[in-house]
């Protein structure tokens, strides 16, 4: 027994294509979306500048000082955040964070000059390390190093 359909192959192809299009348009396909973690992104942006020379008053990738570095990174990272120029002014921003609760991108502050006065800032990276400038340039620094642990003043989260 031979059965034939009264529909042409062209019509079947068109109908199949239309069914696929409708399935894609009205189907329950997942609408996956990625959201950026601005703290992680800022910390990774900071890491790009490891090795950049130190210069007092430096605010560009030619050379940075501490607050010039954090100001530059936050402005040019995905945060596009404008920070004040000095570490003391940056310390007045954001929400205080306990050292045990640091997240990537948090600003960490130190008193490297006059005792008890914030004079240095870096960007927390991970595992007890931050990225900041030293006389040797931008470096990854352990917060537990004797020099740094005695001068720690606190941390602030400036990214919401």
Could you tell me the two tokens for 16? Answer: 């199949």
The per-residue pLDDT for range 4-57, each reduced to its tens digit, is 545 555 554 544 555 555 455 555 444 555 788 999 999 999 999 999 999 999
Q: In what order do the strands lie in the sheet with 152-157?
A: 95-97, 152-157, 107-110, 120-126, 129-134, 137-142
Say which CATH number the domain at 98 has. 3.90.1720.10
CA distance 23 to 127: 47
- Within-domain flag for 71: yes
Categorize the per-residue pLDDT at 106 as very low, low, confident or very high, splitting at 50, 70 and 90. Answer: very high
- Within-domain flag for 120: yes
Q: Enumerate residues 6+ apart whose C-beta is below 8 A from 152.
A: 99, 108, 109, 110, 143
What's the total number of domains in the chain? 1
- Within-domain flag for 19: no
CA distance 157 to 91: 10
Domain membership of residue 134 as a residue range: 38-157
């Amino acid at each position: 027994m031979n059965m034939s359909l009264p529909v042409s192959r062209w019509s079947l192809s068109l109908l199949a294509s239309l069914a696929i299009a409708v399935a894609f348009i009205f189907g329950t396909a997942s609408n996956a979306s990625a959201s950026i973690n601005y703290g992680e992104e800022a910390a990774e942006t900071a890491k790009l500048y490891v090795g950049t020379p130190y210069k007092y008053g430096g605010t560009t990738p030619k050379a940075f000082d501490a607050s010039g570095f954090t100001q530059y990174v936050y402005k040019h990272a995905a945060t596009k955040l404008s920070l004040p120029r000095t570490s003391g002014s940056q310390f007045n921003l954001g929400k205080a964070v306990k050292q045990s609760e640091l997240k990537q991108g948090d600003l960490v502050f130190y008193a490297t000059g006059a005792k008890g006065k914030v004079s240095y800032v870096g960007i927390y990276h991970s595992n007890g390390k931050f990225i900041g400038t030293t006389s040797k340039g931008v470096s990854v620094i352990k917060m537990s190093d004797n020099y740094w642990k005695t001068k720690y003043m606190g941390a602030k989260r400036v990214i919401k």
